[in-house]
Amino acid sequence: MLRRPKIPILPHHYASVLKSCISQKSIEPGKQIHARLCLNGVVLSNVNLATQLVNLYTVCKFLRHAHHLFDKIPSPNIFLWNILIRGYAWNGPHEAAISLYRQLIDQELVPDKFTFPFALKACSALSEIDVGREIHERVKKTGLETDVFVGAALIDMYAKCGCVSESRQVFDKIADKDVVLWNSMLAAYSQNGHPEECLKLCSEMASRGYLKPTEATLVTAISASADSSAVIQGRELHGYSWRIGFKFNDKVNTGLIDMYAKSGNVEAARVLFEGLSEKRLVSWNAMITGYAMHGHAHEALHLFDKMSERIQPDEITFVGVLSACNHGGLIDEGRMYFDSMINNYGIKPNIQHYTCMVDLLGHSNRLDEAYSLAMNMNVAPDCGVWGALLNSCKIHKNVEMGEIAFERLIEMGRECSGSYVIMSNIYAQAGKWEGVAKVRKSMRETKSIKKSVGCSWVEVRGKVHAFSCGDNSNTSHPMWDDISAELNELGGLIAAAGYVANVSPVFYDVESDEKAEMMRWHSERVAVAFGLISTPARSKLLITKNLRICEDCHVAVKIVSRVKEREIVVRDVNRYHRFVCGVCSCGDFW
């Protein structure tokens, strides 16, 4: 009986199978091929097969195997170096990617347009700005600074390290910009708190008709308009996105939901939400968070109950739910949802969840419980947690607990500098002027500690007008005389309606009349006065403030909303306050 001759398996057969393993991220068949090639003594003599194996191990996140094989390959080419650097840049440890990049340079190999983006990605992950700049210098020497992919990586690296001006310099040097590069620069502005610049860039992009915005571009721009409370730009983006074919794009519409909620129009957000063809988790989260920000606690919780019947909530969902309980003063519900998150959904509380609970307990004058929770968290409490407790101590005039929270904040360094101001206010409310003097002296001696100046913004006819606290000079705004006259008229109207200045938050040891005059020039009141004289009667005003609205201004704006028959929305650093007919949506609980 004749035996059929054994047909040898040729290298290109192995290569074909390995390609399939790579595309399917199938590690076990790849390992078997690797073992067979080792037995046959082929793996190190065939660069193509060795490269395929390194690639397979990296895409399957077996980086130790990839690196071990890489080290055995004599004189690996730049393509092989790029594969391994990419693996570490994507999956970590990111330091290994940078180390490999430096080894490549030491061996006098020339990085290419793929090497640089991978190395820069590792720098972005580590916020290694010095290494990133070093790589940028080599990019210049190789003439790849104007390459769109290298440029996008440089823009992203500088943005992730907080150097957005350097991102823009890279962007401006590239003459032939593609849509990826514009996404990158828009994201750089958006991620670093420059929403106005992001919107300007988006307008510039749209004006160049050959560049049609993508889904990602529109979502970034819409997010920027939300962050800057630029209602008019947000509405323009809404119409523009629908006109160019994104009317039924759920990601764009979810961005619009978030934008309308942050711009004070939660009703429009809900209409868009109900119109979504597919309500994904991110969409539910945006709507729940929108309700929470505006103090619509019961609507947020009702929506959560409806969502949980069909989709599993995540950490972000519970941040929105607990924020709703916090802003609505729903102490029992807050405890119940916090326990449910852990016991029913298996979600470990993160620092945001704990901050919500400490704030809720503290606002409800359960300061001992709030302190106990802060001391027994499964993560280290941060400035947000102790700041929430300190603020609650200010509300409830608890000097002793305030001092404890204040000391904890001082231990954490200069990023919590606002705590000095709150502690000063706590002492001032209690008439402990020696405590005020001590805190103020500490602020003077610690150079990094400065009081943030209160600023408020209002948009009128597409232009944003900014006002600073205490700036009552007639040169600060072209309409200053009219604004001042309106403030004087408002003072008389609200006084006749029962307003009495609450001067306790002013921690200067001066007469009450002087304190009241100082508070009259708080930025949110000036912005309201300007808005009233610059917009049609009965139209809604949206004011944005960089700090928490003070108690006295809160009372004053409530009365203004009644006597002027205006809906006034103030978006402060913590939440939204919707003033209608003398009532605030926060229920005086914030």
- The pLDDT tens digits of the residues spanning 87-110 come to 999 998 999 999 999 999 999 999
What pLDDT, on the 0 to 100 scale, is given for residue 502? 73
Residues of the chain with pLDDT under 50: 1-2, 4-8, 415, 507, 509-511
CA distance 259 to 357: 26
Measured in whole angstroms, the distance separating CA 32 from the mean position of its chain's CA atoms is 46
What pLDDT, on the 0 to 100 scale, is given for residue 367? 96
Residues in CB range of 298: below 8 A, 6 or more apart: 328
Per-residue burial over 293-319, b if 16 or more Cβ lie within 10 Å, else e, is bbbbbebbbebbeebbeeeebeebbbb
Domain locations in the chain? 11-76, 351-451, 455-584
What pLDDT, on the 0 to 100 scale, is given for residue 209? 63
Per-residue burial over 465-497, b if 16 or more Cβ lie within 10 Å, else e, is bbbbbebbeeeebeebeebbebbeebbeebeee
Give the type of residue at 228. Answer: S
Structure-block tokens of residue 82 = 């790029």
The DSSP-derived string for 504-515 is: TT--S---HHHH
Q: What is the pTM of this model?
A: 0.69
Contact 385, 374 (CB under 8 A): yes
What pLDDT, on the 0 to 100 scale, is given for residue 475? 62
DSSP state letter for 343:
H
What pLDDT, on the 0 to 100 scale, is given for residue 7? 37
Both ends of the chain: CA-CA distance in Å?
A: 93
Closest CA to 463 of 524, 367, 540, 534: 534
Cβ-based neighbour number of residue 249 at 10 Å: 18
What architecture does CATH give domain 351-451?
A: Alpha Horseshoe (1.25)
Count of alpha carbons within 13 angstroms of residue 118, beta-carbon side: 28
CA distance 316 to 159: 24
What pLDDT, on the 0 to 100 scale, is given for residue 511? 47
Q: Which residues does residue 465 pair with via DSSP β-bridges, in sequence order? A: 458
Closest CA to 119 of 106, 109, 104: 104
- Cα–Cα distances in Å, from 276 out to 215, 219, 269? 16, 16, 11
DSSP state letter for 461:
T
What pLDDT, on the 0 to 100 scale, is given for residue 218? 84
Structure-block tokens of residue 40 = 């046959």
